[in-house]
Structure 1
């Protein structure tokens, strides 16, 4: 019965969206979606429905390069041409505003203090637009990406747009080579990463308990967020929220950052609603893993093997060679554990 009821609601939504009611369409494009099915008095589409309720979001259902993915280490291919990622802060600290968006903890840097990345798999310079946190209600459920089927307590995503080709994030998000996302898994420890500690200490995190709450942070050094490694894996994918544009280059750092158990607990106490509404934890704000299909997962972790070509990169780099080794050998190379 619930399935039939949801289908009826979807049919009603299609009728509304196909009408001339432009304000309703705008509302759908902005925020009319959810990560999990909760009773809120009306239907709000969860990930399995994102691509069905709005034609502008159809890539969420039919796209061939969707994110996140399950990173199977046996499918990775060593690319000797992947250089280290370059971070440019201009030698200055930045300030930014931390928001409770109702779906994420989001840190958006001040536009006058530019942070750029380049190098690695990127052919352009990309400007930092947002730092976004994903986290779970349980320690094994919080990351969007998986490693050999395993989740992590959380995932930090540093979202950048191509400043060489596009004027802003909105333009870049729907355009080729538009977005670069640096992703770092979060693990639990007795001590926390210096940058995340600024965001998640009690005096700060309690300022954004409810949706639309915001708090200004000063003197941030984004380099503190990056683990001490030049190793990463990369693949071509999509934005992980509607409209799921397939314009993202993903760079997953081969070492985690750490937060304390208390800081993770504080994240789980954040509400996705305003204070006058029922409390609903923001946790489990993750999209399920999407099929890899014909894409390659490349890495600059050298497995000292020669082997097959990556079909996706033959035209770009005909000299590029690599071969997957056994899962056991590959796991030994990873610093995520």
Structure 2
């Protein structure tokens, strides 16, 4: 038996002991909300990876039993056209914004200053939503790194702009666990010779080297949020969840129809970020993705009009949404910029 098999067996024994111990206590111990990881790491102690998130904490049970979990694999053959999806409206007040960029140990996270308000509306949204955080997901290899997949294939990374419903809820924490609470705009990242101007501000050498280790932070000013969006009004949307514990199913996802670009050097700089503090062993932050979750008959809608007649989506019959026609995939390659051939 290999060392890895022995280590895996020990982890299972530790988990089984913990679950049994917690269940036997009159007041089970409270699990620290930060006690989770994306990947298995030998550090002398068990930290739950995605397959265990819903087992170690009853408050996270949706991670295991939820039926509307994210991320998902977007199959183009299952997309439907929704004529009622209007373009996304971005409201920055025509001002540039500032914020603090963090190494959280799991993500590169940019959180805006509270005096800089950025709101979005339109699309699948009934209410206006306020930008709370921008997170970057990326892989150790160019062929993986995005949480969402397109026809089973990943992109090099994924930018997630996380917004909360500020019309119904007072803050992100309240909205995250409430109906119609979150809207997350997802933009795939691809490697190219030149980079997106917003990403260039975040990932240039003078900036990214300031957050090499966990808990490092660096202040950025003069950011134009509009620059992170690709030049398209087309998108895909579905109802899902947060992709981190507690996996609340309160998120509407909007996947933009074009990727943004970063250079190979900038991707290399991301992979040099550590999950740990300087006094600990270096562990790359890369591969900070949750595996895709079952779609469970959810509708994947788009505002790309293929002019094809078809069946109604069972969840949206009143809207007369259309399924693909006979030549759907050819039309998809023509209309959709991040088609399989573009990965």
Q: Which runs of 5+ in 1 are unaligned?
A: none
The separation in 2 between residues aligned to 1:5 and 1:172, in whole angstroms, is 38
The separation in 1 between residues aligned to 2:13 and 2:52, in whole angstroms, is 13
Superposition map of 1:78-93 within 5 A: 78-93=81-96
- Return the offset for 1:9: 1.3
Partner residue, 1:25: 30
Partner residue, 1:297: 300
- Return the offset for 1:203: 0.1
- Return the offset for 1:321: 2.3
* Deviation by residue 1:227-270 (Cα, 9 ceiling, x = unmatched): 11000000000000001000000000000000000000000000
Partner residue, 2:337: 335
The separation in 2 between residues aligned to 1:262 and 1:281, in whole angstroms, is 16
Partner residue, 2:3: none
Q: CA RMSD in A?
A: 1.4
Give 3-state SS (helix, strand or coil) of 2:30's partner. Answer: helix
Contact 1:68 1:287 in 2 (8 A): yes
The separation in 2 between residues aligned to 1:248 and 1:319, in whole angstroms, is 21
The separation in 2 between residues aligned to 1:274 and 1:2, in whole angstroms, is 24
Partner residue, 2:166: 163
Superposition map of 1:19-168 within 5 A: 19=25, 25-27=30-32, 30-168=33-171
Give 3-state SS (helix, strand or coil) of 1:134's partner. Answer: strand
* Deviation by residue 1:184-237 (Cα, 9 ceiling, x = unmatched): 000011110000000000000000000000000000010000011000000000
Contact 2:130 2:166 in 1 (8 A): yes
Contact 2:105 2:213 in 1 (8 A): yes
- TM-score norm. by structure 2 comes to 0.94
- Return the offset for 1:12: 2.7
The separation in 1 between residues aligned to 2:20 and 2:95, in whole angstroms, is 52
Matched length? 331
The separation in 2 between residues aligned to 1:211 and 1:20, in whole angstroms, is 36
1:10 corresponds, among 15, 35, 51, to 15
The separation in 2 between residues aligned to 1:199 and 1:293, in whole angstroms, is 36
The separation in 1 between residues aligned to 2:26 and 2:190, in whole angstroms, is 48
Give 3-state SS (helix, strand or coil) of 1:161's partner. Answer: strand
The separation in 2 between residues aligned to 1:124 and 1:72, in whole angstroms, is 28
- Return the offset for 1:332: 2.6
Contact 2:31 2:57 in 1 (8 A): no
